[in-house]
Amino acid sequence: MLTIRNEAGVSVEFDYEEIIFVDFEFVAGPGGRPQVVCVAWHTYTTGATQSLWVAELGVLPPFCTDNRVLYVCFVANAEIGCHLALDWPIPENLIDLNAEFRNLANGHILPAGKGLIGALTYYGIPSIGAKEKDAIRNRIIKGFPFTDDERKTILEYARGDVNGLLLSEMLPLVTEKPALLRGKFVAVLAKMEHRGVPLDMEIYPQLADGAVWAYVRDAMVPAIDAEYGVYVRNKHGDWTFSQKRFAGYLERENIAWPLTPTGELSLKNKTFEDMSRGYAKLENLRQLRHARNKMRKIKLAVGADGRNRTTLWPFKSKTSRTQPKAAQWIFSPAVWLRSLIKPGPGMAVAYVDYSSMEFMVGAALSGDQVMIEFYLSGDPYLAFAKRVGAAPEWATKQTHKELRDRYKTALLAIQYGVSEHTLAAKLNVSVIAAREMIGQHKQLFAVYWAWVEDWIQHSLDTGIMWTVYDWRCRVGITEFNSRTIGNFPVQAVSADILRLAIVMADARSLCLLAPVHDALLIEARADRIDSDVALLQDVMVRASRIVLGGNLALRSSAETVKYPHRFTDARGTTIWDQVLELLAAYRQHRDRQHG
């Protein structure tokens, strides 16, 4: 039994023979696995801090990682990624102080950020200056070879990092069991980063070529914009988005568009995302604007083995969602890029998605039996439309797809507190009609709305929000908006469920590749993908039942892709097909030029 006490007198006992604090330094190119430079570790019982250069490392770590030891680090997906690169065992008991700091300080103002320096600053612990730290990190990033003086500096830097891992200040504040679960989750994310997502390496290099993408990016404008007529050439010959023409398109299509406070059309990306959910015909325009505004280059992080890898950044959002950097991640807002996902020969991938997750989580947390009844009907959005007389009793997702999608947009927006004016714009209905729909929602799901109001008031009274798995957020410092507070429990508990499913799926040796909001991407041999999907779906049901309690559980749907086929997202097929045509045209043009 080991006892740790902080300066405030808070102590905690850990039932381990030893606590090891570990920090690696490594080099990692875009999409590549980490190349270890060195490792430093601090042993709690002896107080000794040691470090070794990569050439000195053996086939096993120089410290114990079994059940007798608690392994502590900061940003565990990086440290465990180094374990995987060295083929070392993964620690059985792991606490990631990055996750715990984000939890303990969630909702607080953090002038120095959420990294290690930010954590040290928050707890008043002296640390190396940010500029000096950046200088050393930048040298490490440049990679091998290192001079003797550089090796000495880097080893000293690593020992300094591991000595500053908030040993006495932070660990006594950590709740062990949920922290260990979060640690297991981050370790599985490290495995996902290690594996990567398989891409079509015939197509991707073409898109990554700046000249080719510039041609495609320009040529796709007249091809896609033919339906909308909102782009014009400026005096430099570049395509630009015309607000005037867009206003004309909206008028022709009878679409009421959200306005800015000054009365202009709102052109924010979020506005286009929201409106595209209500109007599927806007999706291609949204993606075209994204390509024009955000994708001057295709910068996915792709390794030499053709796998997309990037840091998945666990617990980055206040509700604990994972948030990879969009420009480097195949599951970015450019949904047509997902068609680059292609399993290798003999392999398959599957995308397994929780069905209507946020609706059911809200129903379960509040105990609203009407919402639960709607979910158990198989399609809560159509069930609502039928109950209010907007759809016949015989309607299905196939016969009334557009109506069902519009009610899905409406119900989720209303559940998260949308205003009647915004809802009216989303659905292209009058404010009166939107007000009526919100009223119907609040009347049918009165138990849910009473629970939300109680949650908001209790959070404001106590100054804190939390989940059963101990994810917390302070209220009244940075979070005081009632809508944000009311949305927190559903989002945070949904994240809890997915994390537990990930840990359970990994324990059953499923090959997880990526978390995607409320879904998972897995890989397997083509001859066993179906059984792995069935196992994963069973795990996902069990995880949801454990978190939600009782007999309530979430359904899931699955899309399987076997070689030689590729992954597709219905929202991006038009753009993808157009991109393939333009790539072929570019190759023909290039071949003619080179005769």
Residues 78-102 pLDDT 10s: 999 999 999 999 999 999 999 999 9
294 contacts: CB under 8 Å, gap ≥ 6: 269, 327, 333, 334
Q: What is the pTM of this model?
A: 0.94
Any idea what the Cα angle at residue 326 is, between residues 324 and 328, rounded to 5°?
Answer: 85
The predicted pLDDT at position 512 comes to 98
- Nearest-angstrom CA–CA distance, 362 and 442: 13
Produce one character per residue of 452-465: b if its CB has 16 or more CB atoms within 10 Å, e if not: beebbeebeeeeeb
The predicted pLDDT at position 129 comes to 62
- Nearest-angstrom CA–CA distance, 21 and 73: 6
CA dihedral 207, 210, 216, 217 (to 10 degrees): 110
Task: Using 70 as the pLDDT threshold, list the residues of the chain that sit under it.
Answer: 127-130, 164-167, 477-480, 595
Residue 268 near residue 258 (C-beta atoms within 8 A): no
Residues of the chain with CATH 3.30.70.370: 344-368+454-565
**Taking phi first (over 0 means left), then psi (-120 to 50 degrees means alpha), and beta for anything else, what does residue 239 get?**
beta
The predicted pLDDT at position 445 comes to 97
478 contacts: CB under 8 Å, gap ≥ 6: 107, 108, 109
The predicted pLDDT at position 479 comes to 60
- Annotate 528-566 with three-state secondary structure: CHHHHHHHHHHHHHHHHHHHHCCCCCCCEEEEEEECCCC
The predicted pLDDT at position 429 comes to 84
**For 551, phi and psi rounded to 5 degrees?**
-100, 5
The predicted pLDDT at position 164 comes to 67
- Nearest-angstrom CA–CA distance, 538 and 541: 5
Q: Is the peptide bond before 392 cis (omega within 30 degrees of 0)?
A: no
Any idea what the Cα angle at residue 316 is, between residues 311 and 318, rounded to 5°?
Answer: 165
- Nearest-angstrom CA–CA distance, 546 and 467: 13
Residue 118 near residue 112 (C-beta atoms within 8 A): yes
Residue 154 near residue 146 (C-beta atoms within 8 A): yes
The predicted pLDDT at position 274 comes to 82
Instruction: Enter the CATH code of domain 2-195.
Output: 3.30.420.10
Residues of the chain with CATH 3.30.420.10: 2-195
Pick the CATH number of 344-368+454-565 from 3.20.20.70, 3.30.70.370, 3.40.50.300, 3.20.10.10: 3.30.70.370
Tell which residue, 424, 489, 493, has the closest CA to residue 454: 489
The predicted pLDDT at position 169 comes to 79
